[in-house]
Amino acid sequence: MHESSLIPDLLAKIQQVARDHQADRITAVEVKIGALAGIRADHLREHFLAAAAGTPAEGAELRVTESDDPLDADAGAIRLLTVEVEA
């Protein structure tokens, strides 16, 4: 997988949470990167910051956990764990 497809999908999910909660701003996002997702935490942060610019997620803290288990059910995914919002 490549970040060009991963980040827009992740950001869309995050923005949906903001809409669902009628939030003006997203303050923090927690994700888990699978061992086979094809992206490292520092690279994800760079792309997230760029993609979030001009959205409710701009400036949000990104908390990342990386799995090293290639047999995990989510090994090839970036799993959205939590989204913190501000109304």
- What band does 7 get if pLDDT is binned at 50, 70 and 90? confident
- What band does 62 get if pLDDT is binned at 50, 70 and 90? very high
Provide the residue ranges of all domains of the chain, joining segments of one domain with +: 3-86
Which amino acid is present at 83?
Answer: V
Q: What is the pLDDT of residues 14-61, one digit of tens each?
A: 999 999 999 999 999 999 999 999 999 999 999 999 999 999 999 999
The Cα–Cα gap between 43 and 66 comes to: 12
| Exposure class string for 70-80: b at 16+ Cβ within 10 A, else e | eeeeeeebbbb
**Does the domain spanning 3-86 belong to CATH 3.40.50.300?**
no
Q: Which pLDDT value is given to residue 2?
A: 53
pLDDT at 1 over 50: no
Backbone conformation region of residue 22, classed left if phi is above 0, alpha if psi is from -120 to 50, else beta: left
- What band does 6 get if pLDDT is binned at 50, 70 and 90? confident
Place of tokens 């919002």: 85
